[in-house]
Structure 1
Amino acid sequence: MPARHWLAAARLRTLPLAAASVWCGGLLAKTAGHFNSTVLVLSTATAAALQIFSNFANDYGDARHGADSPLRQGPERMVAAGRISLRTMRYALAASALLCCLLGITLLAVALPAIQAARPQAWLLWLLLGAAAVIAAFTYTAGRKPYGYSGGGDASVLLFFGWLGVLGSEYLHTGRLNLGSLLPATALGLWCAMVLNLNNMRDIRSDTAAGKYTIAARLGLPRAKYYHAALLAAASLMWWLWLPQTATAAPIRAGLQVFLLLLALSHLFLLNKAQSWQALDQLLPQWSLSILGWVCVLWMAV
Structure 2
Amino acid sequence: MSIWVAGARPRTLPAAVVPVLVGTAAAAQGDLGPGRGIVAWRFVTAMVVAVAIQVGTNYANDYADGVRGTDSPDRVGPVRLVGSGLAAPAAVKRAAVLAFAVAAVAGLALAIAVTPWLIVVGAVSFAAGWLYTGGPRPYGYAGLGELFVFVFFGVVATVGSAFVQSESLSWLAFGASVPVGLLATALLVVNNLRDIPTDAAAGKRTLAVRLGEPATRVLYAVLMFLPFATVPFVAGLGGRLLGAAALLAVLLVPKPVLAVLEGARGSALIPVLGATGRIQLVFGVLLAAGLWLSA
TM over 0.5: yes
Deviation at 1:11, TM superposition (A): 1.2
Query: Which has the larger displacement, 189-198 or 265-274?
Result: 265-274
Please tell me whether the aligned partners of residues 22 and 158 of structure 2 are also in contact (alpha carbons under 8 angstroms): yes
Deviation at 1:45, TM superposition (A): 0.9
Alpha-carbon distance between aligned partners in 2 of 1:144 and 1:101, rounded to the nearest angstrom: 24
Deviations 1:83-121 (A, max 9, x none): 1111222222332222221111123234x1xxxxxxxxx
Do residues 141 (structure 1) and 133 (structure 2) align?
yes
Aligned partner of 2:257 among 250, 253, 268: 268
Tell me the residue number matched to 2:171: 179
Deviation at 1:4, TM superposition (A): 1.8
Question: Structure 1 counterpart of 2:275, which letter?
Answer: Q
Query: Which has the larger displacement, 235-244 or 193-202?
Result: 235-244
Query: Which has the larger displacement, 82-91 or 138-147?
Result: 82-91
Alpha-carbon distance between aligned partners in 2 of 1:31 and 1:70, rounded to the nearest angstrom: 52
Deviation at 1:271, TM superposition (A): 2.8
Q: Percent identity?
A: 29
Deviation at 1:212, TM superposition (A): 0.7
Deviations 1:123-148 (A, max 9, x none): 0x211110111111011011111110
Cα pair distance change 1:149/1:282, threshold 3 Å: same
Tell me the residue number matched to 2:20: 22
Question: Structure 2 counterpart of 1:144, which letter?
Answer: P
Q: Tell me the SS of whatever aligns to 2:87.
A: coil
Cα pair distance change 1:159/1:134, threshold 3 Å: same
Cα pair distance change 1:160/1:132, threshold 3 Å: same
Q: Tell me the SS of whatever aligns to 1:142.
A: coil
Alpha-carbon distance between aligned partners in 1 of 2:266 and 2:233, rounded to the nearest angstrom: 34
Tell me the residue number matched to 1:221: 213
Deviation at 1:241, TM superposition (A): 2.2
Aligned partner of 1:165 among 157, 161, 177: 157
Deviation at 1:301, TM superposition (A): 3.2
Question: Structure 1 counterpart of 2:204, which letter?
Answer: K
Aligned partner of 1:199 among 169, 188, 191: 191
Tell me the residue number matched to 2:81: 78
Please tell me whether the aligned partners of residues 70 and 204 of structure 2 are also in contact (alpha carbons under 8 angstroms): yes
**Gaps in structure 1 of 5+ consecutive residues:** 113-121
Do residues 48 (structure 1) and 37 (structure 2) align?
no
Cα pair distance change 1:101/1:221, threshold 3 Å: same
Tell me the residue number matched to 2:266: 277
Name the TM-score, length of structure 1 as normaliser: 0.88
Tell me the residue number matched to 1:63: 66
Question: Structure 2 counterpart of 1:10, which letter?
Answer: A
Please tell me whether the aligned partners of residues 71 and 205 of structure 1 are also in contact (alpha carbons under 8 angstroms): no
Q: In angstroms, what is the RMSD of aligned CA positions?
A: 2.0
Name the TM-score, length of structure 2 as normaliser: 0.90
**Gaps in structure 2 of 5+ consecutive residues:** 31-35
Question: Structure 2 counterpart of 1:29, which letter?
Answer: A
Alpha-carbon distance between aligned partners in 2 of 1:245 and 1:87, rounded to the nearest angstrom: 48
Deviation at 1:286, TM superposition (A): 1.5
Tell me the residue number matched to 1:188: 180
Tell me the residue number matched to 1:116: none
Alpha-carbon distance between aligned partners in 2 of 1:247 and 1:54, rounded to the nearest angstrom: 36
Q: How many residues align?
A: 286
